[in-house]
Structure formats: C-alpha cells, structure tokens
Structure 1
Amino acid sequence: MTGDLTPPPPVQLCYENVNGSCVKAPYSPGPRLLLYLLFGSGAALAVLGNLLVMTSILHFKQLHSPANLLIASLACADFLVGTTVMPFSMVRSVESCWYFGDSFCKFHTSFDGSFCYCSIFHLSFISIDRYIAVTDPLVYPTRFSVSVSCMCVASSWVLSVIYSFSVFYTEASTKGLEDLVSALSCVGGCQMAVNQSWVLINFLLFFIPMLLMTTVYSKIFLIAKQQARKIESQSNKTAKSSDSYKDRVARRERKAATTLGVAVIAFLISWLPYFIDSVIDAFLGFITPTYVYEILVWIAYYNSALNPLIYAFFYPWFRKAIKLIVTAKVLRQNSSTTNLFLE
C-alpha cells in the first residue's frame, strides 16, 4: 500500500525565497515556446507595422493631411502598446508571474487603459472626419483643417491618459473590493481589480463611441451607395467631364471610409469580448478563469498589430511606401516628394 503513495509535486513559487510569493503555474517547454513565439510575433508586428505607418505618413509630403495625422497618431498608440504593454504582458501570461515590480504594474495597467481609450477616441474622430469627407468632399478641406485634427489628437491623448492614470493611481477602482484585493495580493502578481461602478463607466466609454462610429459609418455607406448610383446614371458626357474631379475625389474618400470602417469593425471584434467579460466578471464575483482572461486580453492586444495589415491590404500607397522604406530608397534626395498615388 505504501508503495502506491507518491508525494505531491512541489509547489512552484514566483519568488522561491520570498514570503507571500504567488504560486507559479508554468507551462511545459513545448507550449511555453509556442506561446512566446505567438505573443512575441504579435508584439513585433505591432511595433514594426505601426512604425512603418508613422514613417510613411511623416516622411512623404503627399500624405501630410489632417486625416492622415489622425491615422499616424492612432498608429503611435498601437506602437506604444507593442513596446510598453505587450512584452511585459507576454512574460506575465506565459510565466504566470509578474517580475517587474508593483510600481511598474500600475504603470503597465495605466498604459494599457490609456492606449485602449486613446484608440477609441481616435477612431471616433476619424469616423467624423470620414463623414464630412464623403458627404461634402470639396468643402471638406476647409472644415477639417490641420488645426482641427491637432485638437482631436491632443484631446484623445490627454483625456485617455488622465482618465486611466487617475482611476488606477487613486485606487478608486478598488473601492469596496478591499477584502478581495487583500486576499489576492501576493508577491509576483499584477491583476488590478475593478469594482462594478468603474467597470460600467469603462464599458460606457467603450460602448458609446463604438455606437457613434457604427451609426456614422452606416450613414457613410448609404451615402456612398447613392453617390455611386448617381455617377453610374450620368449619361451626359459633358456633365461627366465637368464633374470628373468631384467624382474622383468622392471615390477616393469613399474608399478611405471603407478602409477605416473595416478598422473600426476589427477594433470592435477585438475589444468587445474583453469589455463584456469585465462587466460579467464584476457582477458575478470575478469568476472568469485566468486562461480565459488571458485569451481575451491577447485578442484585444492583437488589434494593435491588425491595423497596418488592413492599410496594406486596402491602400496601394501604403504598400508603395513600405517598399520604398524597406529598400532604403527613402534615404535618397527628394524621396519625400515621391508620388504614391496611382490616380
């Protein structure tokens, strides 16, 4: 009988010689390597892809426009997710431990929230920009100027950073959860509990802009259909000739709206499961298993790597810009004046 009794495997801790250390739940070497490759490739794609977007827009003069300024700033938010959030979350997800200290844990969580809401606000302003561009493309340049775009960029960053850092650094999000926080606190952990009130506020800050964007893009596509039918129905060649510039501008703006509409849908699909789970979790006593939470978080993170792929698929100018950057042709004199548009 005694021969059948095997001692239980020793409990692994994040910090073996520290009292109150979190329990470590390591993966076996094979899955561990695969997860590092999966998460690491996502972070690398977010960094390199968004760096290409920013470089393209900032370098080529043809891309210096109010709309592209918003896209470059959005790419900056996604780039920062790839540099300041994803690498540390990767270690936490794979090793099941946080090795970067309590202070940086708060910074990391605040960065995470800041860049998420910054993306939401940018996408909201971009949807308004596209609506103006599609409904009245000839008047659009005077209505959405560089100064207006800069105001949108500044307000997106300031509001999102102030909100996220104030919520986590004042510990307002943990009010009423002191017992839970105390029970879950251990050395090597980095999970910020958020109470029901702040979970609802977080969800509304996500849901209301997304509802606005969905409504705006629905109107844009209806208008785009009407414009397309109007252009097709024109039979007078003289009218076509005199209106060709307006038609060409309208067509370009509709295409840009379609591309950014796809980016909004991708953002919605990536982040909505996480926000829904956070609400359910807060009201049902934080029942989400750790592995489910990590899956939802990484689906959301991967959105930062997705936007450059969307631009590369829909924008010929972006593919051309990438080719010029990768082949180092941007180092040539006057490369900033290269014509990137086919039209």
Structure 2
Amino acid sequence: MFFLAYYLFTICGNLLVVITIIYFKQLHMPTNYLILSLAVADLFVGILVFPFSMAFTVFSCWHHEGLFCKIRGCFDVTLSTASILNLCYISIDRYYAVCQPLTYKSKINYHVIGIMILVSWGVSALIGIGITVAGFNQGKCEERCFIDALISTTLACIFSFYIPVIIMLCIYLRIFLVAQRQVRSIQSTCQSTMSRATVSKMETKATKTLAIVMGIFILCWTPYFIFLIFQPLTFDVTPVAVIETLNWLALSNSMLNPLIYAFFYSWFRAAFRLIITGKIFQGDFTKTKLF
C-alpha cells in the first residue's frame, strides 16, 4: 500500500506539472521548459523505475539476474541523472535571473534552454548505458569486472552527482548572498515599519526556499552516492534492506520535486486548481492569465 501511494503520488504530481506547462500558453517560457524537462524525467522515474524497484524490493534482484537487472539499472541511472542535471541547470537559470537580471533574457533564451535539455538527457543516457555495460549492478559484481565496475561507478557518481551538487551549492550560495544584499539595499530606503516588516518576510521566505531546495536534494541523494563510492571497496556483501532503503530515499526526490519546484509558485497553484477542478474541460483556458 505504501509503495502504491508512493508510485501514484510521483506520477500524478509530475504529470500535473507537465500538463500545466504544456496547456497554459503564459507558462511557455525558457525557465519553465527546464521545469518541464525535470518533470518528464521524474515522471519516467515513476513510470519505469518504480515498478522495477518495487519488484526488486519484493522478489530481490538476485532471483532475476541478467536482463531484468540491466534494464532496471539502465533506467534508474539514466533517469535519475537526468533529474539531477535538470536541477543543476535550473539553478544556473536562477543565478542569471537573480544575479544578472539585465542580461538574463539575452543569455537564457530558447536556444540555450534547448541545449541545456539536450545535454542533460544526452549525458544521462551515456552514463546510464555506460555503467550498465560495465556490469555494475547495485554494488554486486564478479571479481573479473571489479576494476571496470569501480572506475565506471566512480566516474558516474562524479558526473551524475558530485559535480552537479557542488555547482548547485555554489550557485545557490551566490544567489542567497546577492538576494540578501538586494534586500538590505531596499530595506535601507524603507521608512515605514510595515515596509521593513515586509522586506524582512521576503528575506525569510527566500532563505527558507533555498534551504528546502538544497536540503531535500542533499538528504535524498547524498547517502546513496556515498554508498556507491565506498561499497565496492569494502568487499562485504551489503544487506539488501540497506541498499533498498538508500535507493528509495534517493528516488523520493522525484516525488518531492513537483512540490519544491512547482507548488512554490502561485501561478502554478492557480493552474493546478483549474486542472484538478476540471474547469479546463469546460472551455478554452489556454490563454488564462495566471500572474
């Protein structure tokens, strides 16, 4: 029952984001296409990876070695990496929007966003196929392929997680510092107590948003990638329960991304209400002003 709720929430949440961005023309902008790409990656994590992971959890991969595990591993690595790289590109987009607003539209346009999306999916596919071909499968590898597995796993972890997370941390730290400086500048010109209180709330909300974004991302993914790096070096058989717990914790980020990157925006919430209540089936709302 738990897995079913997990599965449905991930699919429904990301599908809602996909429909929202595609349907409402006001949301057809470069930034939202990155969010759309992220939602598609997370949607396929729910559709393709979750069933394999649930089967693995229930039956154990050791009883289905070969093609089953290779397919599961390829989907898992490819789609999870695509999700992470899209998150990284979203942080880059936010950096230019906040830190370089005057040149934002010239630097972040449809062409650039298209390249970002293609790179995200292309690199993800290469990593997913590469790590599968190397024979690495959830830390289990025969002696003859130990070196290949160790090298491929280390490189995959570096490009799939460590480099993106370092980029994201640096960017969000920079955004936070710039935002604080802008708030202080505005605050220095405010004369009324109410204005100062409003600015203070803005600063608090910005801080909480950035903390939630990075906090949940790191909480979900760090334990899994630390395990992937160090597990081949232990030469011990890791309990399946530990592997699955870390794997499901990482996959939960695909369930939480719609909440973090979509539900925080008031125009998305307005669009969601129109979709959930079925109003979009009662007329043409594609040109509805959401903000």
TM-score where L is the length of structure 1: 0.74
Show the 5 A alignment for 1:143-162: 143-162=107-126
- 1:311 is displaced (CA, Å) by 4.0
Q: Give the partner amino acid of 1:153.
A: I
2:195 match: none
2:53 match: 89
Matched residue count: 282
Range with greater deviation from structure 2 (145-154 or 160-169): 160-169
1:219 match: 174
Show the 5 A alignment for 1:167-316: 167-171=131-135, 177-179=141-143, 195-205=149-159, 206-234=161-189, 259=209, 262-311=212-261, 313-316=263-266
List per-residue Cα deviations over 1:291-336 (Å, max 9, x = no partner): 1111111111111111112245522222211111111212243301
- 1:172 is displaced (CA, Å) by 7.5
Residue 338 (str. 1) matches residue 284 (str. 2): no
1:72 match: 36
Residue 328 (str. 1) matches residue 282 (str. 2): no
Q: Give the partner amino acid of 1:164.
A: G
CA distance in 2, matches of 1:288, 1:148: 43
1:45 match: 9
Identical residues among aligned pairs (%): 39
- 1:129 is displaced (CA, Å) by 0.8
Bigger-Rg structure (1/2):
1
Indicate the SS of the match to 1:199. Answer: helix
CA contact (8 A) 2:38 2:86 kept: yes
CA distance in 1, matches of 2:93, 2:207: 9
Indicate the SS of the match to 1:294. Answer: helix
Aligned in 2, Cα 1:207/1:299: closer, same or farther, shift over 3 Å? same
Indicate the SS of the match to 1:71. Answer: helix
Structure 1, unaligned runs of 5 or more = 1-36, 182-191, 237-246
Q: Give the partner amino acid of 2:132.
A: F
Indicate the SS of the match to 1:330. Answer: helix
CA distance in 2, matches of 1:150, 1:257: 30
- 1:273 is displaced (CA, Å) by 0.2
Indicate the SS of the match to 1:278. Answer: helix
CA contact (8 A) 1:123 1:264 kept: no
- 1:163 is displaced (CA, Å) by 2.0
List per-residue Cα deviations over 1:136-190 (Å, max 9, x = no partner): 223311210011101100110011112211331353789x953488xxxxxxxxx
Range with greater deviation from structure 2 (137-146 or 99-108): 99-108
Q: Give the partner amino acid of 1:299.
A: L
CA distance in 2, matches of 1:72, 1:255: 24
Aligned in 2, Cα 1:200/1:101: closer, same or farther, shift over 3 Å? closer
CA contact (8 A) 1:130 1:257 kept: no
Select 1:110's aligned residue among 70, 74, 84. 74
List per-residue Cα deviations over 1:39-62 (Å, max 9, x = no partner): 221111111000001111111111
TM-score where L is the length of structure 2: 0.86
1:61 match: 25
CA contact (8 A) 1:311 1:318 kept: no
CA contact (8 A) 2:10 2:46 kept: yes
CA contact (8 A) 1:220 1:257 kept: no
CA distance in 1, matches of 2:177, 2:226: 29
Higher share of residues assigned helix: 2
Structure 2, unaligned runs of 5 or more = 192-198
CA contact (8 A) 1:70 1:149 kept: yes
Select 1:126's aligned residue among 79, 86, 90. 90
CA distance in 2, matches of 1:305, 1:229: 36
CA distance in 2, matches of 1:83, 1:136: 38
Aligned in 2, Cα 1:340/1:285: closer, same or farther, shift over 3 Å? same
CA contact (8 A) 2:69 2:137 kept: no
